[in-house]
Structure 1
Amino acid sequence: MKRKIVAHQVADQLFAAEAAIDGALAAVATLTAMLPNARIDAHISAVIGQNAIDRTSQTIAALAEARRGIVETHRELSDVQHQIGLGAVALGGLDKPAEDTPRLPVQGAARHIRAA
């Protein structure tokens, strides 16, 4: 019974971390989208503010990498759940793909994002 309680606590924190990263990603994406429109509305040269757009774009890439990391953490914790005998316990209410979804190595994912 203790394992199930602890597993639920870990799952709750995992879901909170996932939501925080997704929220940050959405907020920065909205900010990035807003910047060119603000420039146009204010009749400011495209030269002004380019560095800010560069930085928000880099932040999006970093948050995407963080999201990939928390998704991989989720998958690893799912493995742990089965290893400790809690495989049949539902710890979240969200739909997710089958467990045979391919996993990317974290380093390969980082190179892909940097190349994009």
Structure 2
Amino acid sequence: MRKERLAVAHSIANELIPYEQELDAAIIRNAKLTMAIIDGRRRARAPLTIAQRSLENVALANVRLIEARNLIHEAHYDLREAQYEIGLGAVSYGDYGDTPPPPPAVMRHETRHAVDA
């Protein structure tokens, strides 16, 4: 059972970690696009109103990307909690520095199971 749970956890981590990295990359790409639009307008000596709607849409896309990033972070946190609940709390999946710490209640839950075993 533990072996199967570990395999499932690794398959989830293999999707989650690259997804988090891709969201960060998309936010960076969006920032570069914003800079290119503004710089391009300046270099073209175009009025401020040129590409204004495009700039607004790119800014809105950035907000949505950041919202998505936050939702995925929350999902990561919830998955981390589930990891403790199924007895895999000590397992690392290669997401160094990005893994949210377990909440104190989960730590107590994990400790209780360790003592009961």
Fold shared, TM-score > 0.5 on shorter chain: yes
Aligned AA (1:40):
R
| Residue identity (%) | 32
SS in 1 for 2:62: helix
Separation (CA, whole Å) in 1 of partners of 2:29 and 2:73: 19
Separation (CA, whole Å) in 2 of partners of 1:10 and 1:86: 13
Separation (CA, whole Å) in 1 of partners of 2:25 and 2:5: 30
Larger radius of gyration: 2
Separation (CA, whole Å) in 2 of partners of 1:21 and 1:74: 13
- Shift of residue 89, structure 1, vs aligned partner: 0.6
Aligned-residue Cα RMSD (Å) equals: 1.7
- Residues 98 and 75 from structure 1, CA distance in 2 versus in 1: closer, same or farther, beyond 3 angstroms? closer
Listed as ranges, the gaps of 5+ residues in structure 2 are: 104-117
- Matched length: 101
List, as ranges, runs of 4+ consecutive aligned residues in structure 1 with deviation greater than 2 Å. 96-101
Counterpart of 1:45 in structure 2 is 47
- Shift of residue 97, structure 1, vs aligned partner: 6.9
- Shift of residue 100, structure 1, vs aligned partner: 6.7
For 2:91, which of 81, 89, 92 is the aligned residue? 89
Separation (CA, whole Å) in 2 of partners of 1:66 and 1:99: 20
Counterpart of 2:14 in structure 1 is 12
Listed as ranges, the gaps of 5+ residues in structure 1 are: 102-116
